């Protein structure tokens, strides 16, 4: 809309300039929010808007991150987290349910177990006389674009004094085939020069052929392996993931593998570069030892907070309030 992002549906819609701009905006929002006056200003710029958080798949961090982001901007929120509390129990289609939301709210943020559902809803609403922005907060095993944005933001802040994200080596470890966070982030990393991605997983959970084809198309180097300890000293960032066994029933049962081979232990800190980082989209189970948490290279708790700021920046940009935030930042000499 007017050259600005309207829906946020998939990682492929972002270009390098957008990533740089939204990360810059998130940095400025962090600075503004350090003062009471700054928080009051941020809370005033969208206090006439309302958002529906339609989360029919379990979520803690993403839900609360978006809820907090809306609060920072003064947006009033409502939520549906269980379709049993909606008219879907009466036989209403999910599409009709969300279209109803669009008549009450100015923004729909959704997490759904069905791949491409957010895209379908966005296209449906665009054909009505009352289109509203749709943000994909996770769709099936397919996409998680705002997680990818916060991951890029975390990488950028972590490598600020090392020339930025370009020319870095990133390892993805664990359940890669079903990891929508991995899929989205891998696509965004193709926008940076001379990257190399390592996909470390047992064969049943290795990265999908569609992602490999995407990397080939965008001329991004990669390596597929199951040797985690060999990769650790080579990379600048390790992106750990959990075994996503919530999909096992749909896929016909659990695959018996030694997941311990793909876990980051305290002893692995000696193998990791002194300026390397460890990331995780969370929640974790046993794939990162809690003994690692106190190491300054453990970036996953910083990721959580980064997610709130990048989502504030995204929502402000969707509603074309990004320039107002930049003007406030400059006028207050922050």
In a shared domain, residues 288 and 325: no
- What's residue 90's pLDDT? 62
- What's residue 245's pLDDT? 54
Bridge partners for 54 per DSSP? 80, 110
- What's residue 87's pLDDT? 60
For the annotated catalytic residues, the residue numbers are 61-62, 90, 111, 144
Q: How many domains does the chain have?
A: 2
In a shared domain, residues 222 and 166: yes
Residue 114 lies in a domain: yes
In a shared domain, residues 138 and 78: yes
- What's residue 248's pLDDT? 47
In a shared domain, residues 137 and 152: no
In a shared domain, residues 104 and 16: yes
Residue 2 lies in a domain: no
Residue 6 lies in a domain: no
Short-list 41, 325, 282, CA closest to 150: 282
- What's residue 92's pLDDT? 77
- What's residue 204's pLDDT? 85
Residue 231 lies in a domain: yes
In a shared domain, residues 98 and 177: no
Task: Report d(CA 13, CA 22) in Å as an integer.
Answer: 14
Residue 5 lies in a domain: no
Give pLDDT tens digits along the chain (334 positions): 567 899 999 999 999 999 999 999 999 999 999 999 999 999 999 999 999 999 988 888 899 999 999 999 999 999 998 766 666 656 778 888 899 999 999 999 999 988 889 999 999 999 999 899 999 998 877 788 999 999 999 999 999 999 999 999 999 998 898 878 899 999 999 999 999 999 999 888 899 999 999 999 999 999 999 999 999 999 999 999 987 654 445 555 555 667 788 899 999 999 999 999 999 998 888 899 999 999 999 999 999 999 999 999 999 999 999 999 999 999 998 8
In a shared domain, residues 17 and 81: yes
Residue 4 lies in a domain: no
- Quick one: CA torsion of 30, 32, 33, 37, rounded to 10 degrees? 180
Give, in order, the Cα–Cα distances in Å from 31 to each of 35, 45, 58, 300. Answer: 8, 16, 32, 21
In a shared domain, residues 295 and 316: no
b/e per residue 260-295 (b: at least 16 CB within 10 A)? eebbbeeebbeebeeebbbbbbbebeebbeeebeee
Q: Could you tell me the residue range of the domain that residue 41 belongs to?
A: 11-143+307-331
pLDDT tens digits for range 168-192: 999 999 889 887 889 999 999 999 9
Bridge partners for 187 per DSSP? none
CB atoms within 10 A of CB 83: 14
What is the CATH classification number for the domain harbouring 292? 3.40.50.1370
Residue 224 lies in a domain: yes
In a shared domain, residues 234 and 311: no
Residue 40 lies in a domain: yes
Two tokens at 196?
A: 């190399």
- Relative to beta strand 107-112, strand 50-55 is parallel
In a shared domain, residues 251 and 149: yes
In a shared domain, residues 207 and 258: yes
Give, in order, the Cα–Cα distances in Å from 326 to each of 4, 27, 130, 182. Answer: 16, 11, 29, 31
Give the distance between the most distant pair of CA atoms in the chain.
59
In a shared domain, residues 160 and 297: yes
For the entire predicted model, the pTM comes to 0.92
CB 181 within 8 A of CB 281: yes
């Amino acid at each position: 809309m007017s050259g600005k992002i309207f829906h946020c549906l998939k990682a492929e819609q972002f270009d390098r300039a957008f990533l740089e701009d939204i990360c810059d905006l998130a940095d400025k929002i962090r600075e503004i929010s350090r003062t009471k006056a700054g928080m009051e200003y941020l809370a005033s710029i969208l206090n006439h808007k309302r958002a529906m958080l339609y989360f029919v798949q379990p979520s803690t961090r993403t839900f609360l991150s978006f809820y907090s982001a809306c609060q920072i901007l003064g947006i009033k929120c409502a939520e549906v987290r269980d379709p049993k509390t909606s008219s879907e129990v009466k036989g209403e289609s999910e599409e009709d349910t969300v279209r109803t939301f669009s008549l009450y709210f100015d923004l729909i943020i959704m997490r759904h177990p069905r791949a491409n559902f957010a895209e379908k809803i966005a296209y449906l609403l665009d054909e009505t006389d009352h289109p509203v922005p749709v943000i994909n907060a996770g769709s099936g095993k397919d996409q998680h674009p705002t997680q990818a944005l916060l991951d890029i933001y975390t990488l950028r802040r972590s490598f600020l004094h090392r020339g930025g994200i370009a020319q870095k080596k990133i390892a993805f470890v664990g359940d890669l085939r079903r990891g929508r966070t991995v899929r989205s982030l891998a696509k965004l990393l193709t926008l940076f020069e001379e990257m190399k991605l390592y996909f470390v997983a047992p064969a049943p959970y290795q990265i999908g052929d569609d992602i490999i084809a995407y990397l080939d198309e965008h001329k991004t180097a990669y390596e597929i392996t199951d040797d985690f300890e060999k990769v650790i000293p080579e990379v600048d960032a390790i992106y750990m993931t959990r075994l996503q066994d919530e999909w096992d029933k749909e896929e016909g049962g659990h695959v018996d593998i030694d997941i311990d081979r793909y876990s980051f232990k305290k002893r692995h800190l000696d193998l990791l570069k002194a300026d390397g980082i460890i990331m995780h989209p969370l929640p974790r189970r046993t794939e990162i030892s809690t003994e690692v948490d106190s190491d300054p290279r453990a970036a996953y708790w910083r990721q959580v907070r980064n997610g709130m700021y990048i989502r504030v920046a995204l929502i402000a940009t969707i509603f074309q309030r990004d320039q107002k935030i930049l003007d406030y930042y400059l006028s207050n000499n922050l």
